[in-house]
Amino acid sequence: MKFIQTNKAPTAIGPYSQAVEVGEMIFTSGQIGLTKDGDLVEGGVEAQAKQVLTNLSEVLKEAGSSLSNVVKTTIFLADMSDFAEVNKIYAEFFGDHKPARSTVAVKTLPLNVSIEIDAIAIKLR
């Protein structure tokens, strides 16, 4: 087991790792709309979704993977009415790659953000 840490994504805000590598699998922690410096992005769910996916990409890159190697994501939304807008941004980042996905509405998220996403990926070959 290897713990993944990059300074190109925000530091964990609790006692956990940005990701953990086990064999050929990478399990990321949920990413929220914080910059690498830990500042919350302005601009609502669209800006947060873009930052979340950028953060996931950086964590996966540090682990030797990429968004194109993601096999499953989970999206947590504070408001399910943001679903269509998030889908649009998600599609921009993933392109033709379509990993399995779950999307759930939750009452609140850390720091009262609008969105959080985690991922499971395989290492690049």
Map out the domains of the chain as residue ranges.
2-122
Compute the C-alpha angle 115/29/37, nearest 5°: 70
pTM of the model: 0.95
Token output for 41: 């992005």
Please tell me the CATH code under which domain 2-122 is placed. Answer: 3.30.1330.40
C-alpha distances in Å from residue 59, one per residue of 17, 66, 78, 82:
10, 9, 23, 25
Residue 43 has a CB neighbour count (10 Å cut-off) of 11
For 48-101, the pLDDT digits (tens) are: 999 999 999 999 999 999 999 999 999 999 999 999 999 999 999 999 999 999
